Amino acid sequence: MSAEQSQATIERTPEEAALIRRLRIFVNMRWIAVAGVAVATLVATEGFGIRFSPLPLYVIAGCIALYNGLLFLQAKSLEAETGETRFPERQRYRAAHQLPTTPIIVRARQYGNIHIALDLVALSLLLHFSGGIENPFLFYFVLHTILASIFLHYVVAYGVATVAISLLALVAGLEYAGIIPHVNLEGFAIPGLYKQETYILSVLASLASILYATAYMSTAISGELRKRQREVLDLRERELEEAKRLEEVNKRLIELNTEKSRFVTVASHDLKAPLAAIQSYLDVMLGGFAGEIAERQRRMLERCSERVKELLNFISDLLDISRIERGFISQEMKPTILAQVVQEALESVRGMAEEKGIEICIEVPDTLPQIQAAPPRLQQVCLNLLSNAITYTPEKGQIWLKVEDGDQCLRVHVMDTGIGIPAQDLPRIFEDFYRGSNVPKTEDRTKGAGLGLSIVKRIVEAHGGEVWVESPYPESPTGQGSKFTFTLSKNLSGIDKEEE
Residue 416 as a binder of ligand ADP (CB under 6 A): the answer is: yes
Minimum CB separation from ligand ADP for residue 264, in Å? 17
Residues of span 332-361 touching ligand ADP by CB under 6 A: none
Q: What's the burial of 161, exposed, middle or buried (CB within 10 Å: 0-12/13-18/19+)?
A: buried
Residue 364 as a binder of ligand ADP (CB under 6 A): the answer is: no
Q: Which of 429, 462, 467, 488 is the binder for ligand ADP (CB under 6 A)?
A: 429
Residue nearest to ligand ADP (CB): 448
| Spatial distance between the Cα atoms of 40 and 32, rounded to a whole number of angstroms | 12
Whether 315 contacts 271, CB under 8 Å: yes
Residue 449 as a binder of ligand ADP (CB under 6 A): the answer is: yes
Residue 436 as a binder of ligand ADP (CB under 6 A): the answer is: yes
Minimum CB separation from ligand ADP for residue 481, in Å? 7
Residue 421 as a binder of ligand ADP (CB under 6 A): the answer is: yes
Q: Which of 54, 83, 448, 465 is the binder for ligand ADP (CB under 6 A)?
A: 448
Minimum CB separation from ligand ADP for residue 321, in Å? 11
- Burial letters 396-425, b for 16+ CB under 10 A, else e: ebbbbbbbeeeeebbebbbbbbbbbbeeeb
Backbone φ and ψ of 306, nearest 5°: -60, -45
Q: How far is CA 300 from CA 282, 283, 294, in A?
A: 10, 13, 10
Residue 412 as a binder of ligand ADP (CB under 6 A): the answer is: no
Ramachandran region, residue 147 (left: φ > 0; alpha: ψ -120 to 50; beta: rest): alpha
Q: Which of 107, 128, 435, 463 is the binder for ligand ADP (CB under 6 A)?
A: 435
Is cis: bond before 369, omega within 30 of 0? no
Residue 380 as a binder of ligand ADP (CB under 6 A): the answer is: no
| Spatial distance between the Cα atoms of 168 and 150, rounded to a whole number of angstroms | 23
| Spatial distance between the Cα atoms of 301 and 313, rounded to a whole number of angstroms | 18
Minimum CB separation from ligand ADP for residue 346, in Å? 16
Residues of span 76-95 touching ligand ADP by CB under 6 A: none
Whether 405 contacts 339, CB under 8 Å: no
C-beta closer to ligand ADP: residue 30 or 457? 457
Minimum CB separation from ligand ADP for residue 349, in Å? 12
What string marks each residue from 135 to 154 as x (binds ligand ADP by CB under 6 A) or -? --------------------
What string marks each residue from 470 to 489 as x (binds ligand ADP by CB under 6 A) or -? ------------x-------
Residue 56 as a binder of ligand ADP (CB under 6 A): the answer is: no
Give the amino acid at 20. Answer: I
**Count of residues making up the chain:** 500
Residue 389 as a binder of ligand ADP (CB under 6 A): the answer is: yes
Q: How far is CA 124 from CA 131, 132, 140, 141, 474, in A?
A: 11, 8, 10, 9, 86
Residue 132 as a binder of ligand ADP (CB under 6 A): the answer is: no
Which residues is 401 bridged to in the sheet? 362, 414
Residue 451 as a binder of ligand ADP (CB under 6 A): the answer is: yes
Q: Which stretch binds ligand ADP (CB under 6 A): 79-87, 187-195, 234-242, 384-392?
A: 384-392
> Count of residues binding ligand ADP (CB under 6 A)?
22
C-beta closer to ligand ADP: residue 14 or 450? 450
DSSP string across 250-276: HHHHHHHHHHHHHHHHHHHHHHHHHHH
Minimum CB separation from ligand ADP for residue 226, in Å? 58
Whether 454 contacts 432, CB under 8 Å: yes
Whether 386 contacts 399, CB under 8 Å: yes
Residue 397 as a binder of ligand ADP (CB under 6 A): the answer is: no
Q: Which of 420, 465, 476, 489 is the binder for ligand ADP (CB under 6 A)?
A: 420
DSSP string across 33-61: HHHHHHHHHHIIIIIS--BS--HHHHHHH
Residues at the interface with ligand ADP (CB under 6 A): 384, 388-389, 392, 416, 418-421, 429, 434-436, 439, 448-454, 482
